[in-house]
Amino acid sequence: MRGVIIKSTGSWYLVRDEQDKVVRARLPGKFKLNDQKISNPISVGDFVILEAEDDNFLIQKILQRRNYIIRKSPKKRGYAHMIAANIDQAVMVASHKRPRTSLGFIDRFFTTLEAFRIPGFLLINKADLYSEAELTALREIMKMYEKIGYRAAITSFTENNISEIDGWFENKITLISGHSGAGKSTLINLIAPKATQAVGEISDFANKGTHTTTFAEMFSLNPTTHIIDTPGIKELGLAEIQTAELSHYFPEMRNFLGQCKFHNCLHISEPSCAIQEAVKSGEIALSRFESYLSMMENDDNRR
């Protein structure tokens, strides 16, 4: 029997089968990871083959992934933690205050998506809390990301105003991420209230009354539209991105690659660097270049 992982509860997984029934499944004790340095063998969005075991099921095989998104494991040094697999797009829910989401955090998110060829959107929440001056500044930030190629919007979930993002999720598997408190859960409850309630009841039963936010969870709006909720992320360390390749994951830098004086230019302080010249001329935003330098200087991001 084939199914898709919709939630991990630690040792048990919730799987939606091809008849839209949700069942509990677990991994065999000798399941192989093929020597991959991944802290979790299965993630939400994985398609699996199940075999019946009494009242539950065993996961016998993980089918090939179309794509996946990972971060550095927060618990196992040198390992990656898989957030989700087989997704069509990802949305960063951010806020300017309560809590503040830095541009550096947003850029790390988009860089990770670029590395795995996943389209990314930016949604700034809590518009009702910002002054006119703040809104003006945020609109300029939106324009910057839209110029790069990312869809972006400012809205307020507390006012139930999600008209700005109508159609963003239709017929897609969408991962939603962001800091705790930015409004991620509110957004999901607005767009999928019945789905979250239904899966919540199943999750409570599977967890014997406990709840975990360690792993992602998938909700279905309809047979072709799915939302993946991820735990609130405080930090987003890059994984599987080599230092020399980082500039390739900044779309606005790609047109300038190969134009530097030195073929191995890292675009930090080298002379006759096309990227640095593009920053000076305004063709590349200074904040984006500062994010690039921050990622380059972080030893944890070097491979």
d(CA 62, CA 42): 8
Is there a domain that residue 173 lies in? Answer: yes
8 Å CB contact between 210 and 12:
no
Q: What is the mean pLDDT of residues 109-137?
A: 93
Please give the model's pTM, rounded to 2 decimal places.
Answer: 0.85
Domain CATH for 282: 1.10.40.50
d(CA 183, CA 123): 10
User: How confident is the model at residue 261, as a pLDDT?
Assistant: 95
Q: What is the mean pLDDT of residues 267-293?
A: 97
User: How confident is the model at residue 157, as a pLDDT?
Assistant: 79
- End residue of a domain, out of 229, 262, 293: 229
- Residue 133, both tokens: 């001056």
User: How confident is the model at residue 299, as a pLDDT?
Assistant: 47
Q: 205 and 73 in one domain?
A: yes
Q: Looking at the predicted structure, is the pLDDT value of residue 87 above 70?
A: yes
User: How confident is the model at residue 232, as a pLDDT?
Assistant: 67
Question: What are the C-alpha distances in Å from 163 to residues 33, 167, 222, 266?
Answer: 43, 9, 19, 42
User: How confident is the model at residue 209, as a pLDDT?
Assistant: 34
Q: Looking at the predicted structure, is the pLDDT value of residue 200 above 50?
A: no
Tens digits of residue pLDDT in 21-66: 999 999 887 665 565 677 788 899 999 999 998 888 999 999 999 9
- For residue 291, give the 3-state DSSP assignment: helix
Q: Which of 208 and 161 is assigned the larger pLDDT?
A: 161
8 Å CB contact between 104 and 184:
no
User: How confident is the model at residue 242, as a pLDDT?
Assistant: 87
Q: Looking at the predicted structure, is the pLDDT value of residue 171 above 80?
A: yes
Q: Looking at the predicted structure, is the pLDDT value of residue 163 above 80?
A: no
Q: 119 and 105 in one domain?
A: yes
Q: 106 and 49 in one domain?
A: no
User: How confident is the model at residue 202, as a pLDDT?
Assistant: 46
Tens digits of residue pLDDT in 5-22: 999 877 789 999 999 899
pLDDT-derived band at 76 (thresholds 50, 70, 90) equals confident
Q: Which of 263, 267, 266, 283 is nearest to 275 (CA)?
A: 267
Q: 154 and 112 in one domain?
A: yes
User: How confident is the model at residue 33, as a pLDDT?
Assistant: 59
Rounded to 10°, the helix 286-297/103-115 angle is: 70
Which residues constitute the domain of residue 296? 245-301
Q: What is the mean pLDDT of residues 157-166?
A: 71
8 Å CB contact between 127 and 135:
yes
Q: 124 and 35 in one domain?
A: no
Is there a domain that residue 37 lies in? Answer: yes
H or E element that contains 58? strand 56-62
User: How confident is the model at residue 35, as a pLDDT?
Assistant: 59
Q: What is the mean pLDDT of residues 147-169?
A: 83
Domain CATH for 191: 3.40.50.300
Q: 86 and 56 in one domain?
A: no
pLDDT mean across residues, the chain: 85
| Per-residue b or e along 121-145, where b marks 16 or more CB atoms closer than 10 Å to that residue's CB | bbbbbbbeebeeeeeeebeebbebb
Is there a domain that residue 235 lies in? Answer: no
Q: 290 and 212 in one domain?
A: no
Q: 42 and 21 in one domain?
A: yes
- End residue of a domain, out of 194, 229, 264: 229
Domain CATH for 35: 2.40.50.140
- End residue of a domain, out of 229, 256, 283: 229
Is there a domain that residue 234 lies in? Answer: no
Q: 221 and 147 in one domain?
A: yes
pLDDT-derived band at 303 (thresholds 50, 70, 90) equals very low
User: How confident is the model at residue 206, as a pLDDT?
Assistant: 45
Q: 192 and 84 in one domain?
A: yes
Number of domains forming the structure of the chain: 3
Q: 220 and 183 in one domain?
A: yes
8 Å CB contact between 191 and 227:
yes
User: How confident is the model at residue 40, as a pLDDT?
Assistant: 81
Q: 213 and 88 in one domain?
A: yes
The values of phi and psi at residue 84, to 5°, are -165, 165
d(CA 121, CA 98): 21
Q: How many CB atoms lie within 10 A of CB 256?
A: 20
Q: Which of 266, 272, 273, 275 is nearest to 295 (CA)?
A: 266
Q: What is the mean pLDDT of residues 240-265?
A: 93
Q: Looking at the predicted structure, is the pLDDT value of residue 169 above 70?
A: yes
Is there a domain that residue 174 lies in? Answer: yes
**Beta strand pairing call for 47-53 and 68-72:** unpaired
